[in-house]
Structure 1
Amino acid sequence: MIRLSWTQPEDLVPHALVAAELDGRDTAGIRERWTAAGGSTLAPVSGATPEPASETLRDLAREVLTVLDALPDPEGLQLVEPDDLDAILAGAAPPALPEPGDTADRVLGAWLGRAAGCLLGKPVEKLPLEGIRAIAKSTGNWPLNGYFTEQGLDPAIAAQYPWNRRSRPTSLAENIDGMPEDDDLNFPLIALHLLERHGDGFTTDHVAQAWLDLLPGGRVFTAERIAYRNLLDGIEPEQAGRVRNPFRDWIGAQIRTDLYGWTRPGDPLGAACLAWTDARLSHGRNGLYGAMFAAAASAAAVAGAPVATVLETGLSVVPARSRYAVAIRYGIDMAASGLADEYAVDELHRAFGDMHWVHVLNNAALLAFALARGGGDFHRTITLAVSGGWDTDSVGATAGALTGAMTGAKALPAQWIEPLDDRLATSVPGFAGARFTALAARTLEVSR
């Protein structure tokens, strides 16, 4: 029996209830109806419960999801957190950025940095914060100073906190052989494909078609998987992310859009617009803002801006009163707090610990913290990002990409870059046997 994650109606309802309540919608009656019928309000962490619900409960789940979709926005929510591009960017005022220079080296640094940060986080994805710390301390790798290893790992700790099953064979220090496949790298490839095929005028329809052509359903997750399913059900791309999708405020869009900034050095508004066109296929509100933040910040990073300006640039394309902007500012403030790293991360988890580990807000706060406290130092930034928990590979990837662009490929530490061997494994058609140096050259080509 296959229990496909992030798609079973009965497993989506708990997430949808939480999403509605976070937006300030009244779900009391719907929640009571669901629980009275035997439905669970405990969201499965991995995306699917072990056993399917009865057909009666599954039918009710579909109805509940539709009813939740129809709940009106609380008064003022659209003013604070709009979905429309013009409304999002109404107050955008990016800071002055340096004249781009060394772009080729910075773009390659972004690709390599994204890979190294992602690879560092892969083995401990889904593990709780205490598990990450226990593993690292048991192997003499705390504070984090290199890729995770199981050499010297206490068997009791290994049993209590098992590695990510898919990543263990490819992502521990003792068995890294190039960059293994990961959605955090697949999506920049899709973005590159879109720009190579359609240029800057690509549409959300083009994004949808690229997914259907290049990505099997098993290679997308959470909001992307819902949108993919909706496309197959005949729902148009502009609506595919809005139907029975409780993950619109999760991190998926934020991991897709760095490349739009890499191709628009010094043009954060242009990069943010491309990111919005991509992200709206699957996300809304804070999910959109995460994508736009990452693209705009990337445009500043490849222009050679310092980290404070990179963060300011990312924030400049995000509605100032949105929850996303609040999370980013909280992370920056925590970096400046004077608390030791572990205590500062503990405070982040106290502030955002009730959110799912794939939500965009907790991960955005951690990203901002790692970038601000890392101060542009690649080693310090990616180790802070990953040791902070939650979506370790995705936050590590974005932090690594931004800091890699600021640093440039030539200055990246060999301990993180040499194991990549300039190779990326991927199942995305047209990119088999990809080398980062070749991908950087193609990225520069579409930016001209």
Structure 2
Amino acid sequence: MLRDKMRWTAYSDLLEDEYRQCLQEGLQVEPLLEEIRRIQTLSDGSLREEEARSLLARLEVAPVRSDFPYEEPEDYESIQSTLRPTAHKIWPVDADHFTDRIAGAWYGRTVGCVLGIPVEGWPRSKITGYLKASGQYPITEYLHSTQDPALRAQFDIHEEDPTTPYDRTRVCWRECLDAYPNDDDLNYTVLALKLLERYGHNFTSADVAETWLLGIPAFHACTAERVAIRNLMTGILPPQTGRRRNPYREWIGAQIRADFFGYIAPGNPAAAAAMAYRDGVVSHTKNGVYGEMFIAAWLSLCYVEGLTMLQRVQNALEQIPPRSRLSEAISEVCASYVSGVSFQSVVDGIHARYDETLQFDWCLTIPNAMLVTACVLWHDDYDAAVTAAVLSGFDTDCNGATVGSLFGLSHGRHSIPSRWHKAFPPVIHTSVHGYHALTFSDAIERTRNLILLES
């Protein structure tokens, strides 16, 4: 059981994902593929791990192809040098509606997360097939398991989940829950609250790392975050923690940590993105960090009345390098929206480009950010947006949470039907030390107390 939970740590387990990540970044690593395959044939042991560690170091410094068409800086000053002057615009906001919008964000994120957890990791064909077969399509409530033996066998339905990293032992079907469950999509939002309350708005990446080490169990961190914790415990400091032996550096982990920075920077997307950057580089690089900056900036702009959602997306994109892969991908989604392409066609196109049955693609920032953008642009009510996020596949709980957060902050708590948030007691349960049970009212008030207003 312990070995099953010790994922994302052995060097030899990282080689295949590192190779794919390098290809994403335009690095010339093809000559090293045979060496990867040779190491993978070695028996488990110290020799295999040492050779894998050495090869990972070589992969990390491979040269970039001369024909790579993107410009993707990593340090903050270089990122800023690619942006337009308008990126630093501060937008007027109405403080009278802050409390309702913050409430909408917290409830929207929590509900969207819980809705997507039971089918996390399922391909969209299985999600839709099971929901139709079990009479839960279209989605109108939290998802249930079934006791029908044929359906349980066909869709591998079970209630026990001994491999989960969040110290819960049951799948989060509705009948298995009596409260909002612990999950990383909520842990990191609360962890950011703790970070700001302890270190203030000028926190550093080292403060973020310290908050992690003091605040959450290592097993409650996944992929890039777990690698970063491993790096920290060997004396490596940010931003190297996000770069060193970390093939998950452009996965979705940083993007799901963005929300709180947008919540506390109303109308100030540059400030939201700056905080997201300092948080993101602890575990991610390039488009992994850009995803967090983009979502934080978008949330900041959700406070601004008079902007359409499309305009919020377009202005949020001004916070990330315009010649990055993420900027190109989100711009494509926006162009499809403007030209009248259907939502389903956009989702099908994302699935054609990325294979959700491969964990590498399933967890990448870019396809998930594209789906989040499409779900919010094409849907004008909360239920439609968050259920679309779940039905579209890829990282269902992460995307459901982010879509719910964006929609809730834009429209306020009243936009979220009461059946969602009345299903459980109004308490967020987390792994965060000292914040294990946070009432929504407390979270809303403490978030408002941290709002950064600049003129």
- TM-score, normalising length: structure 2: 0.89
Q: Give aligned pairs, total.
A: 436
Distance of aligned partners of 1:286 and 1:154 in 2 relative to their CA distance in 1, 3 Å threshold: farther
For residues 87 and 78 of structure 1, the distance between their equivalents in structure 2, rounded to whole angstroms, comes to: 17
8 Å Cα contact 1:223/1:283 also seen in 2: yes
The aligned residue for residue 436 of structure 2 is: 432
Aligned to 1:43: none
Q: Secondary structure at the match of 1:434?
A: strand
**Counterpart of 2:286 in structure 1: which amino acid?**
R
- Whether 1:185 aligns to 2:186 is yes
Please list, as runs of the form range in 1=range in 2, the aligned pairs for 1:61-72 lying within 5 A after superposition.
61-72=52-63
AA in 2 matched with 1:257 = A
- Deviations 1:67-105 (Å, cap 9, x if unpaired)? 111213344869711112233233243477452340011
- In structure 1, the partner of 2:239 is 238
Distance 1:314 1:53, change over 3 A: farther
Verify the 8 A CA contact 1:275 1:295 in the aligned structure 2.
Answer: yes
Moved more, 245-254 or 84-93: 84-93
Match of residue 283 from structure 2:
282
Report which stretch shifted further, 204-213 or 423-432. 423-432
Aligned to 1:46: none
Counterpart amino acid of residue 57 in structure 1: R
In 2, the alpha carbon distance for the partners of 1:129 and 1:194 equals 36
Residues in 2 aligned to 1:437 and 1:345: alpha-carbon distance in whole angstroms: 36
Correspondence 1:395 to 2:399: yes
Indicate which of 399, 414, 418 corresponds to 1:414: 418
Matched, 1:380 2:384: yes
Per-residue displacement from partner, 1:352-383 (whole Å, max 9, x unpaired)?
Answer: 227521110111111111111113x2111111
SS state of the match for residue 349, structure 1?
helix
Match of 1:321 among 316, 320, 323: 323
Range 185-194 or range 344-353, more displaced? 344-353
- 1:140 and 2:135 are equivalent in the alignment: yes
Aligned to 2:30: 28
Aligned to 1:369: 374
Q: Given the alignment, which residue of 107, 124, 127 partners 2:119?
A: 124
Please give the secondary structure, in 2, of the residue aligned with 1:145: coil
Query: Alpha-carbon deviation of 1:238?
Result: 2.4
Question: Which of 43, 55, 78 does residue 87 from structure 1 map onto?
Answer: 78
Instruction: Give the aligned residue type for 2:214.
Output: D
1:100 to 89, 94, 103: 94
Partner SS for 1:144:
coil
Q: Which amino acid aligns with 1:61?
A: A
**Over aligned residues, Cα RMSD in angstroms?**
2.4
CA–CA distance in 1 between the matches of 2:409 and 2:186? 16
- The one of 90, 99, 109 equivalent to 1:114 is 109
SS in 2 for 1:421: coil
* Structure 1 stretch displaced more, 171-180 or 149-158: 149-158
Q: 1:433: Cα distance to partner?
A: 2.1
Name 2:257's counterpart in structure 1: 256
Distance 2:401 2:156 in 1: 22
CA pair 327-26 structure 1, distance change in 2 beyond 3 A: same
Read off the aligned partner of 1:62 and give its amino acid letter.
R
* Mean Cα deviation higher: 241-250 or 405-414: 405-414
Question: In the alignment, which residue of structure 2 is the partner of 1:360?
Answer: 365
Q: Distance in 1 between matches of 2:311 and 2:148?
A: 40
Question: Counterpart of 2:205?
Answer: 204
Instruction: Report if the CA contact (8 A) 2:287-2:365 is conserved.
Output: yes
CA contact (8 A) 1:123 1:163 kept: no
Deviations 1:202-260 (A, max 9, x none): 00110111111011110111111111000000112221111111111111101112111
Contact 1:127 1:161 in 2 (8 A): no
**1:3-14 residue pairs with structure 2 within 5 A?**
3=4, 4-14=6-16
Deviation readout 1:32-82 (Å, 9 max, x if unpaired): 122134449xxxxxxxxxxx8243222211111111112133448697111
Q: Secondary structure at the match of 2:63?
A: coil
Cα contact 2:382–2:415 (8 A) shared by 1: no
Separation of aligned partners in 1, 2:73 and 2:100: 36
Residue aligned with 2:450, SS: helix
1:284-299 matches, cutoff 5 A: 284-299=285-300
What SS does the corresponding residue of 2:437 show, helix, strand or coil?
coil
Tell me if the contact between 2:28 and 2:64 (Cα under 8 Å) persists in the aligned partners. Answer: no
Structure 2 residue ranges without an equivalent (≥5): none
Residues 1:302 and 1:294: Cα distance change in structure 2 (over 3 Å):
same
Contact 2:112-2:401 at 8 Å conserved across structures: yes
Counterpart residue identity of residue 27, structure 1: V
The letter of the residue matching 2:373 is A
Whether the 8 Å CA contact 2:310–2:334 is kept in 1: the answer is no
Q: Is the contact between residue 135 and residue 157 of structure 1 (CA under 8 Å) also seen in structure 2?
A: no
Separation in 1, partners of 2:342, 2:280: 35
Alpha-carbon distance between aligned partners in 1 of 2:322 and 2:152, rounded to the nearest angstrom: 43
Q: Distance in 1 between matches of 2:444 and 2:424?
A: 15
Query: What is the TM-score when the length of structure 1 is the normalising length?
Result: 0.91
Structure 2 vs 1, CA of residues 215 and 385 (structure 1 numbering), >3 Å: closer, same or farther? same
How far the C-alpha of 1:436 sits from its partner, in A, is 1.2
Could you tell me which of 135, 144, 168 is aligned with 1:149? 144
- Given that 2:93 and 2:303 are in contact with CA atoms closer than 8 Å, whether structure 1 keeps it comes out as no
